[in-house]
Amino acid sequence: MPQLLSSQKVTVIGAGVIGLSTAHELASHGYQVTVVSDQDTLQTVSSVSAAIWFPYHSENSPAADLLLSRTLSRFQALSLIPETGVDLRFGMDIERRADADRSWTNFVADSAPAEPEILPEGALAAMAGTVPVITMPTYLSWLRGQCTNLSVRFIERTVKSLSEFTDEADVVVLAAGLRGGELLGDDDSVYPIRGQVVRLANTVGLTEWISDDDHPDGVIYVIPRRDDIIVGGIDVDHDSNPEVDPQTSIDILKRATTLVSALADCEVLEHKVGLRPARETIRLERLDVQGVSVIAAYGHGGGGVTMSWGTAQRVHELMGS
């Protein structure tokens, strides 16, 4: 006889945005959930995220599209609740290549070509639209609080083996980012993508986001949140250096001010580095490992926030498989 949902114990490994979203989704459906992590939520790579709903270099597949659309819908709903830190903001994605990826516009109802007269030098076109922008410290704290309200337990410890949970959980959800493949023991394809951002005080009233991935001098994105602006960035594959590089910050700000001159008047609040957990495709499946029933949920790269709620809903579906 199958166990009742209320008696099924689930351990989620990882307290980033994937882990917390999954914990919330499962707890809201009656599962007894414990989150185990060696980092506080505000120390995870999720806290470094800009964050904007945008499928940046995301996997191109129907499965990924479902994760994207489900997450967008959830964030749109959460934007109606001020304390979540989620806002809907208009902005544009600069295109400098004839084969620019416009797939994101399939999900955004008001997406449309930007007026040619506002394009920066060298741009061929731009697509504009309204998408969720998330103030991550506010959002992660809110989400963790919601999990606590649903009786989710949080334990801070380093997991060395999935076998530790043989007698602790009916199912383990592996949302451990860079350590996902290591803990499963059958996946060495996970690698870090190093990102670095500068956080500025939003004293200039900036509200519109802008991204320019193919700028000749390097990636540029400017994401205004409620009280600050996240400016980036870099994407360096297989670089695990967690330290801020001062010259990189100088270069980021120099590039960004060519697009948004008002940034020159903003105070620098912080420099941050994040190591995004990437693999060729997201691993989202159920399997048995070391005598433990495991649902793998890792490898989102820079798309963790953008696919978070969709991933959580898919994990819930896999619980019934």
Read off the pLDDT band of 205 (50, 70, 90).
very high
Q: Exposed, middle or buried, 186 (CB in 10 Å: 0-12/13-18/19+)?
A: exposed
* Gap between the Cα atoms of 75 and 111, Å rounded: 17
CA distances from 68 to 16, 19, 22, 58 (A): 18, 17, 15, 9
**7-21, 57-71, 79-93, 101-115: range with lowest mean pLDDT:** 57-71
Q: What pLDDT, in 10s, does the model give residues 145-172?
A: 999 999 999 999 999 999 999 999 999 9
Average the pLDDT over 186-214 and give the result.
97
Q: Does 222 score more than 80 pLDDT?
A: yes
Could you give phi then psi for residue 188, rounded to 5 degrees?
-105, 20
Q: Does 135 score more than 70 pLDDT?
A: yes
* Gap between the Cα atoms of 71 and 312, Å rounded: 9
Average the pLDDT over 188-208 and give the result.
97
Q: What is the pLDDT of residue 2?
A: 39
Exposure string of 133-167, with b = 16+ CB inside 10 Å and e = fewer, is: bbbbebbbbbbbebbeebebebeeeebeebebbee
Name the token pair of 78: 């959460």
Q: What is the pLDDT of residue 194?
A: 97
Q: Does 5 score more than 70 pLDDT?
A: no
Contacts with 273 (C-beta within 8 Å, 6 or more apart), sequence order: 48, 194, 195, 196, 241, 242, 243, 244
Q: Does 225 score more than 50 pLDDT?
A: yes
Q: What is the pLDDT of residue 253?
A: 98
Average the pLDDT over 13-42 and give the result.
97
Q: What is the pLDDT of residue 1?
A: 32
CATH of the domain at 120: 3.30.9.10
For the chain, what is the domain count?
Answer: 1
User: Where in the sequence is the domain holding 179, given as residue range(s)?
Assistant: 5-319
**4-8, 26-30, 113-117, 290-294: range with lowest mean pLDDT:** 4-8
Average the pLDDT over 212-222 and give the result.
96
Please report, rounded to a whole number, the percentage of residues in the chain having pLDDT higher than 70.
98
Read off the pLDDT band of 59 (50, 70, 90).
confident
Name the token pair of 38: 């060696």
Q: What is the pLDDT of residue 132?
A: 99
Q: Does 75 score more than 60 pLDDT?
A: yes
Q: What pLDDT, in 10s, does the model give residues 251-267?
A: 999 999 999 999 999 99
Please provide the average confidence, as pLDDT, over all residues in the chain: 95
Average the pLDDT over 213-229 and give the result.
96
Q: Does 268 score more than 90 pLDDT?
A: yes
Q: What is the pLDDT of residue 57?
A: 72
Q: What is the pLDDT of residue 6?
A: 58
The answer to whether the CB of 69 falls within 8 A of the CB of 107 is: yes
Q: Does 91 score more than 80 pLDDT?
A: yes
Name the token pair of 295: 């649902």
For the entire predicted model, the pTM comes to 0.95
Average the pLDDT over 283-296 and give the result.
94
